Structures are given as structure tokens and as C-alpha cells.
Amino acid sequence: MTARPTNLDPYWMPFTANRAFKQAPRMFVAAKDMHYVTDDGRQVLDGTAGLWCVNAGHCRPRIVEAVQKQVAAMDYSPAFQMGHPDAFRVAERIAALTPGDLDRVFYCNSGSEGVDTALKIALAYHRARGEGQRNVLIGRERGYHGAGFGGISVGGIPANRKAFGNMLFRVDHLAHTHNLAENAFSRGQPAWGAHLADELENRIIPLHDAGNIAAVIVEPLAGSTGVLVPPKGYLERLRQICDKHGLLLIFDEVITGFGRTGPCFAADAVGVVPDMMIIAKGLTNGTVPMGAVVVREDIYDAVINSAPPGMVELFHGYTYSGHPLATAAALASLDTFEEEGLFQRAQELAPYFEQAVQSLRELPHVIDVRNMGMVAGIELEPRHGEPTARAFEAFLKCYEDGALIRTTGDIIALSPPLIISKSQIDELIGIIAQALRAGGRR
Ligand code: PXG
């Protein structure tokens, strides 16, 4: 079904300017490796791995075949009080990939559900240990943790919160780490900013009392709000403070997982092991929705052992937790990552990618370029009285010229599939440079 539908009205599109889109729609109808195909037959180079998820590139045969085979063999299996073998296999594979004793895996279907699940497990864990008063959750400004009520509560994006009023109420936020005066044009992790973690100890803990706080949740690298790379030493410092006061540290690795920052997880890149990790997106290479929360074994044990034998221990889960199509896609994706050494490739390609994106600093209105692994943010000076317009015009121009980029505010975010070649990096940066030059006239 590739012909353009005549009626675009019924579909209420997510996080999209519906009216503008429906006047000038942009539609993809096919994808292969590094490219999408538009409904008017143009190839578009994917600079964003879809929405940060297609890390191995599009329609990879192994993944396609695994899903096709699975849908014909067993379409669905009940998630509660029943199991199917691949759900256990995927959990074992994930546990082997995640660092430290992150060894128990709870499935969901998206990052947003993963965030809610992690927050609920944190609360259940403290309660199981007789510390149910620990129920304050700490997020961070400019954090994105999906669109559920839990996620927008600990998240720190004003626009995602302001229309919705009711949120979790025992929540506080750390300051974000973005500072152009100190860190503009940093390559990799910026040098300035580790001390920002001290706010947890100096302001938040005294205010709420450590004994009332359940968990701190952060994206190790904040993606959605414009690629905010963690300052050197910052996440280490958060870890130390959480340890000192018995707070769980949750890393939301929905974007950073599966090679985006180089190694499998950002936790590996910075050498910090959280108590829980949320993953989604790249887990199935974007093919079938799937998310998971990976927790320390003793967190699982505490919750499990607090319930009477034979009883359900955690009253939480989803109809589609560990869906057979998702587990088939996950196994095939993890095999693909492994066979192709994609995380290794990401690390090897990162310096070339860095050089290429940093070359954009000379272009009109570029006020910062930042990068880590295979992710980069290019921040533009907002046009007076028209915030977001400059970046969105660049997005439209790139799309016309054959490249998909992502913008948030006046920041361009790049996160190409890890299979991108050097010449495709050059092509992507060339198209962006042209768009920035064109936009530079205003
Ligand atoms: N946590 C993080 C860190 C995310 O980036 C979610 C949770 C929610 O995941 P789901 O699967 O519920 O959407 C996300 C999602 C963008 C963009 O371009 C980012 C996301 C989704 C769509 C667009 O920045 N991140």
C-alpha cells in the first residue's frame, strides 16, 4: 500500500505538527540498510536510525526472516502464568550484555513503559525491604523518559508537562548539565560539570531526607533534548552519592543502548554500573516494539522473596511483555550486532564521525557541536522571535536533498545506523552543511 491516502484527517500523529504535516506530508514506504524510500520514489539517507532505534540498518535479512518465521509458528503466547522459550533466551542474552550484576530482565513494549516499570520496581523494592517511606523520585531537567505519567513526572521537558497537570507528586529534579559557556564544541565528554552531581547531596538529599528517596533516574547521555553529553566524572559522582545514601540509580539507556555511544551501553562507556537499566529501541533494531528493565539480582530477590510462596510477587506486567515476535526480533538483532561486530565498528567509526560533525562549526549560526560515539548534536542560534524555525527549516531542506535528520528546538541530532560508511557520513554532513548555508542567509 504505497499510494498516498486521500484522507489524512483521522490519524492524530504523535509529537507532530499535524496541521502543517497534513498540508505537506512526508511519507516513507520502504527501507533498506542506510536508506528510506519516499512515496515519490526518492532515496533518503537515514541520519537518525529511524528514531534512534535501527542501529543495524533497515530490513536486515536475518531479522526479517526471524520475525516472518515466528509469526507463522506462534503468533502470540500469554505473558502471565505462561512462558515461551525465546523470552527466557532473550533475558539470558541481555543479562550477559549488561554490566555488573544487572541480571534480571522484566519485559515491556516501549521505553515509556520501561520507565514506569523501573520506577514501580524501585518503589516495590524499598517496600519489600521495609523501607516503604522511600518514595521520592529524582529526575533531571531536560530529561526525557517517555510520555507516560511516570516518565513526564521525572522528565524535565516543560512542553511535555504543561498541558497535563496531574503528575507523580513526590518528585524533584537535578539541574541539567548543558552549559555552552563552559563546554561549547567539546569533543566527547566535556571537561566541565562533574560538580553538578553534588546538587544531589547538597540540596536534594537535605531537602527530602535520604531516607525518603527511592531512586535517581537519568539518561546517561540525554538524547531527545539535544544530545547532552555527560561531563567527565558526573555519572561517577552520582553513583558515589547514591551508594552513600542507599538510593537506587536508574540509567535510562533507551537511546544510548546497543552501541550508540560506542560500547554496548553508555554505562560501559563511562564505567558506571547503575542499579537498574531501561532499554528499548535498538533491542529489536526497531523492528518490533519491545522494552525491558534490567535490574540487579538482589533487587529481584528482595521483591520475589517478600511474597508468600506460590503468590504473584510483583503486580505489574503487560499483555505483550515478551511478545514472541519481539523476542524473535531481539534474538536476531543481538545476533546481527554480534556477528557484524557493530559495537566495535561504532567505536572505530566514532573518530571519523566526530571529525565530520565538528567540521560544521564553521557554518552560519552554529553555536555548538558535540558528540560521543555515533551520536552528535549541532546547536543553532535561534532566529529572533522564531525559536525552532531555523533547525526545522534545515530538517525540511535536508529531507528534500535526501537526508533524514532529527531536530529538537534549534538543535540537530544525528544518530545514524552503525553500519553507515565513511562516504555516507560525508554525504550526510555535506547535505546538512548545504542546508545550514541556505538557512544562514536569514
Ligand atoms: N527514554 C528515553 C531516554 C527515550 O529517548 C523513551 C524513554 C520513551 O520510549 P518510547 O519507546 O516510549 O517512545 C525515549 C524515547 C527524539 C525521540 O527524536 C526520542 C524518543 C522517541 C521519539 C523521538 O528525540 N525517545
Per-residue model confidence as pLDDT tens digits over 391-421 = 999 999 999 999 999 999 999 999 999 999 9
Q: Which of 311, 339, 367 finishes a domain?
A: 339
pLDDT at residue 166, as a whole number: 82
Q: Is residue 72 part of a domain?
A: yes
pLDDT at residue 1, as a whole number: 53
Q: Mean of the per-residue pLDDT values for the chain?
A: 97
Cα(257) to centroid(ligand 1), Å: 12
Question: How far, in Å, CA of 87 to CA of 95, rounded?
Answer: 12
Could you report the per-residue pLDDT of 334-372, keeping only the tens digit for each?
Answer: 999 999 999 999 999 999 999 999 999 999 999 999 999
- Whether the pLDDT of residue 2 is over 90: the answer is no
Residue in 106, 74, 82 with CA at minimum distance from that of residue 283:
106
Q: Which of 285, 318, 339 finishes a domain?
A: 339
Secondary structure of the chain: what % helix, strand, coil (to 5)?
A: 40, 20, 40
* Ligand 1 pocket, residue 259 CB under 6 Å: no
Q: Which of 313, 339, 365 finishes a domain?
A: 339
Q: Give the pTM.
A: 0.98
Place of cell 551501553: 265
Could you report the per-residue pLDDT of 131-170, keeping only the tens digit for each?
Answer: 999 999 999 999 999 999 999 999 999 999 999 988 999 9
- Cell (9 digits) for 240: 558515589
Q: What is the number of the ligand 1 atom nearest to the C-alpha of 113?
A: 12
39 and 130 together in one domain: no
* Ligand 1 pocket, residue 256 CB under 6 Å: no
Q: Is residue 11 part of a domain?
A: no
Nearest residue (CA) to ligand 1, atom 22:
51
Nearest residue (CA) to ligand 1, atom 21:
51
Cα(411) to centroid(ligand 1), Å: 16
pLDDT at residue 286, as a whole number: 98
Q: Is residue 83 part of a domain?
A: yes
Q: What is the number of the ligand 1 atom nearest to the C-alpha of 278?
A: 1
Cα(249) to centroid(ligand 1), Å: 19
* Ligand 1 pocket, residue 354 CB under 6 Å: no
Mean pLDDT of 44-58: 98
* Ligand 1 pocket, residue 112 CB under 6 Å: yes
284 and 394 together in one domain: no
* Ligand 1 pocket, residue 412 CB under 6 Å: no
Q: What is the CATH number of the domain that holds 84?
A: 3.40.640.10
Q: Is residue 295 part of a domain?
A: yes
Q: What is the CATH number of the domain that holds 359?
A: 3.90.1150.10
- Whether the pLDDT of residue 215 is over 90: the answer is yes
289 and 398 together in one domain: no
Ligand 1 pocket mutation, candidates 119, 144, 219, criterion most atoms within 8 A of CB: 144
Q: What is the number of the ligand 1 atom nearest to the C-alpha of 289?
A: 11
Looking at the structure of the chain, the number of domains it has is 2
* Ligand 1 pocket, residue 146 CB under 6 Å: yes
Cα(291) to centroid(ligand 1), Å: 11
Cβ atoms of residues 270 and 229 within 8 Å: no
Question: How far, in Å, CA of 145 to CA of 48, rounded?
Answer: 19
Could you report the per-residue pLDDT of 218-269, keeping only the tens digit for each?
Answer: 999 999 999 999 999 999 999 999 999 999 999 999 999 999 999 999 999 9
pLDDT at residue 225, as a whole number: 97
Question: How far, in Å, CA of 68 to CA of 76, rounded?
Answer: 13
Cα(280) to centroid(ligand 1), Å: 9
- Whether the pLDDT of residue 317 is over 90: the answer is yes
* Ligand 1 pocket, residue 225 CB under 6 Å: no
Ligand 1 pocket mutation, candidates 277, 281, 375, criterion most atoms within 8 A of CB: 281
Q: Is residue 108 part of a domain?
A: yes
Question: How far, in Å, CA of 91 to CA of 364, rounded?
Answer: 48
265 and 276 together in one domain: yes
52 and 74 together in one domain: no
Q: Is residue 187 part of a domain?
A: yes
Q: What is the number of the ligand 1 atom nearest to the C-alpha of 151?
A: 7
Cα(59) to centroid(ligand 1), Å: 21
Residue in 1, 264, 282 with CA at minimum distance from that of residue 114:
282
212 and 335 together in one domain: yes
322 and 399 together in one domain: no
* Ligand 1 pocket, residue 406 CB under 6 Å: yes
375 and 300 together in one domain: no
Question: How far, in Å, CA of 351 to CA of 142, rounded?
Answer: 27
* Ligand 1 pocket, residue 115 CB under 6 Å: yes
Q: Is residue 12 part of a domain?
A: no
What letters, b where the CB count within 10 A reaches 16 and e where it falls short, cover 7-19? eeeeeeeeeeeee
217 and 328 together in one domain: yes
Cα(362) to centroid(ligand 1), Å: 30
Ligand 1 pocket mutation, candidates 15, 16, 48, 52, criterion most atoms within 8 A of CB: 52
* Ligand 1 pocket, residue 254 CB under 6 Å: yes
32 and 69 together in one domain: no
pLDDT at residue 220, as a whole number: 98
Nearest residue (CA) to ligand 1, atom 15:
146
76 and 190 together in one domain: yes
335 and 346 together in one domain: no
Cα(290) to centroid(ligand 1), Å: 13
Residue 394 domain boundaries: 18-56+341-439
Residue in 347, 404, 314, 358 with CA at minimum distance from that of residue 46:
404
